[in-house]
Amino acid sequence: MGFRSTAIVGTIALVHLFTMSAATAADDEYAGDKSCLECHEAEYNSYQRSQHAVTADPRTPASEHGCESCHGPSKKHADNDGELNVGGLVGFGERAAASAETKSSMCINCHSSSAKLAMWPGSTHMGNGVTCSNCHNPHTDNPKSLKYETAEEVCSGCHANVGFDFQRVSHHPVPEGQIGCNDCHNPHGTSNDKLLVGTTTNETCYTCHADKRGPFLWDHSPVTEACTTCHTPHGSSHDQLLAEKAPLLCQRCHSNSRHPGTLYALNADTTANDSVYVSLNNRAIYRGCVNCHSAIHGSNHPSGKTLAR
Ligand code: HEC
Ligand code: HEC
Ligand code: HEC
Ligand code: HEC
Ligand code: HEC
Ligand code: HEC
Ligand code: HEC
Ligand code: HEC
Ligand code: HEC
Ligand code: HEC
């Protein structure tokens, strides 16, 4: 009994000693924030507005090594008139020698336990050399330390094509600020395709369009497979985010041999009244199919087999 507790105390003392000495050894490589202020007043001031500068929180850089929690121990840099890439200095700019991985590690040291960041290792962004500071800059007023005011501006910097998609006539209300890229994607990585927040495209869509989730009495199989068979997720030049306009959209799968023949025959039968003929025909060309097959996403009506109710 007595032996055991002594051993435990001994172990604790030993661990403590090692941590202490490691910290002491590194300590003289740090210069401290006041020395940075001398030459970097602008950065010194801009960082004060970030949550990172909150001294009341014991987990922040301000409670540890301040500037040097993110930029690494920089005494050599400070003592040598701001020489770059010396000592432990980690710069995030273009002249910095640090790799994307080293830059990210400066942040992950503190943020590895965040659920949102759990899938960062191996994510598409990490794998393509993107690093935290491509999207974040703690030297800003932004509440999430984003480089630009909104996430969408940050993303569009590299994904300009996606930014343009949102300018098409029909688009998810991202430019209007109703939803954001992050509602469908987690830029820090997910275990799903395309950094989607849902396990599949459909699961992502159902988070907001729950009424489209089956099973229905009469399912329409492309709907259960992938919403993106018929819709573009970002924006489209066709109504309702459609990938193609009806009837072409439908005719990709429903060969126009049988039914559309019936359809046009039906119109021809109404030639007794010219105006009816014209309006029916217009509907057939534009969105005729869904005029009748209105339960296009599935039907719960006993006689809804042809998705017409
Ligand atoms: C004696 C002046 C001086 C001091 C003190 C100083 N710096 Fe610098 N620092 C510079 C100069 C000069 C540059 C180069 C700036 C330039 O050319 O734009 C620089 C650049 C940097 C960079 C960019 C590195 C890169 O690779 O692009 C970082 C980060 C940095 N300093 C952080 C710090 C930190 C943190 C401290 C305090 C521990 C500090 N500096 C203290 C003068 C100084
Ligand atoms: C929470 C992490 C963090 C803290 C704390 C921090 N910085 Fe930075 N700093 C960054 C990041 C990230 C960038 C790059 C921003 C960008 O590329 O838009 C940066 C940019 C800079 C730059 C411009 C050169 C470069 O590397 O891009 C200087 C100089 C700098 N910081 C100095 C300081 C000083 C001085 C302090 C303390 C007063 C400080 N930083 C505190 C993360 C931090
Ligand atoms: C010494 C630990 C530490 C380091 C290093 C650190 N952070 Fe933080 N960060 C925190 C703490 C603590 C908070 C406060 C919010 C929380 O997580 O509860 C925070 C908040 C944030 C936030 C959200 C709020 C805000 O003010 O921006 C972002 C984004 C962020 N950090 C990104 C980064 C990035 C990017 C880096 C690297 C350039 C970094 N952090 C480095 C500890 C740290
Ligand atoms: C491709 C862009 C991008 C990259 C790369 C990125 N982030 Fe973020 N991060 C964002 C956006 C956008 C948000 C805002 C999320 C929101 O508002 O929901 C965010 C939010 C955060 C938050 C706050 C999370 C919360 O719970 O509110 C932290 C912390 C954070 N990022 C840390 C990091 C760290 C650390 C890295 C590097 C390992 C990193 N980020 C890389 C775009 C990025
Ligand atoms: C610094 C440039 C950069 C920024 C900023 C950026 N990305 Fe990326 N993103 C990339 C690169 C590089 C790839 C991988 C190559 C590609 O697919 O184009 C990528 C891929 C993606 C993918 C496809 C993933 C896959 O598995 O195919 C999505 C989704 C994505 N980014 C979303 C975002 C979102 C959301 C934001 C903003 C929060 C953002 N990106 C900001 C560079 C960036
Ligand atoms: C309503 C959900 C939703 C929103 C909002 C959204 N995306 Fe997507 N995004 C998707 C889906 C679903 C895919 C996958 C498409 C596929 O597999 O065909 C995708 C694919 C991507 C891709 C990879 C393929 C490509 O088109 O290049 C990138 C990059 C991307 N999104 C970036 C963004 C950015 C940046 C934003 C915000 C400006 C954004 N997304 C907003 C759902 C969304
Ligand atoms: C974060 C919530 C959200 C997610 C996730 C989401 N949507 Fe939406 N969707 C909306 C909002 C908001 C509207 C606009 C509704 C309105 O204006 O009445 C909308 C509208 C639509 C429209 C009608 C567009 C129009 O022009 O009327 C279609 C089609 C659509 N979404 C399909 C999808 C698909 C497919 C997915 C999955 C890739 C998806 N949505 C994921 C929120 C979401
Ligand atoms: C077989 C093609 C097809 C598939 C697959 C499909 N849709 Fe649609 N969707 C349409 C058509 C066509 C319209 C336009 C209906 C109209 O004009 O009345 C539409 C309209 C919508 C609308 C706006 C009108 C409404 O009914 O709320 C939303 C939202 C929507 N779809 C979401 C989804 C979601 C979510 C999925 C996946 C679960 C999906 N769609 C799969 C063809 C499809
Ligand atoms: C990606 C292929 C695909 C697209 C696009 C598509 N469908 Fe379908 N549709 C199917 C499949 C597969 C079935 C089930 C076929 C079966 O059971 O014979 C089906 C079934 C149907 C049925 C019920 C037929 C029956 O006898 O049960 C109708 C009606 C229908 N689709 C209408 C449409 C309309 C209208 C559109 C355009 C808005 C459309 N479909 C787009 C593949 C598609
Ligand atoms: C005027 C109303 C109307 C229009 C417009 C219409 N349908 Fe139909 N459709 C029906 C009715 C009613 C049935 C059931 C016929 C039956 O039971 O014999 C049907 C049956 C179907 C079926 C299943 C049986 C079959 O013939 O293969 C498919 C698939 C279908 N329609 C697709 C389409 C497509 C694609 C379009 C657009 C090009 C379209 N429909 C336009 C009323 C319409």
Let me know: does 36 contact 74? Beta carbons within 8 Å: yes
Let me know: does 80 contact 86? Beta carbons within 8 Å: yes
Protein residue with least CA distance to atom 38, ligand 5: 155
Q: What is the pLDDT of residue 10?
A: 36
* pLDDT tier, 252 (very low <50, low <70, confident <90, very high otherwise): confident
User: 114: left (phi > 0), else alpha (psi -120 to 50), else beta?
Assistant: beta
Compute, in angstroms, the gap from residue 285 CA to the centroid of ligand 6: 30
Pocket test residue of 103, 145, 154 for ligand 3, highest count of atoms within 8 A of CB: 145
Let me know: does 89 contact 157? Beta carbons within 8 Å: no
- 82/35 Cα distance (integer angstroms): 11
Torsion of CA 35, 40, 43, 48, to 10 degrees: 30
- 95/232 Cα distance (integer angstroms): 40
Compute, in angstroms, the gap from residue 287 CA to the centroid of ligand 10: 13
Q: What is the pLDDT of residue 287?
A: 53
Ligand 7 binding site (Cβ under 6 Å of any ligand atom): 170, 172-173, 178-179, 183-184, 201, 204-205, 207-209, 227, 231, 233, 240-241
For residue 225, which atom of ligand 9 is closest to its CA?
A: 1
My answer on whether omega of the bond before 247 falls inside 30° of 0, hence cis, is yes
Compute, in angstroms, the gap from residue 260 CA to the centroid of ligand 10: 8
Query: What number is the average pLDDT over the span 247-257?
Result: 78
What is the per-residue pLDDT across 33-71, written as a single tens digit (0 to 9) for each?
A: 999 999 999 999 999 989 999 999 999 999 999 999 999
- 129/139 Cα distance (integer angstroms): 22
Token pair for 283 = 């509907």
What is the per-residue pLDDT across 3-34, written as a single tens digit (0 to 9) for each?
A: 343 333 333 333 333 333 334 436 889 999 99
What is the per-residue pLDDT across 211-231, written as a single tens digit (0 to 9) for each?
A: 999 899 999 999 999 999 999
Compute, in angstroms, the gap from residue 77 CA to the centroid of ligand 1: 7
Among candidate residues 128, 148, 162, 305, the one with its CA nearest the CA of residue 235: 162
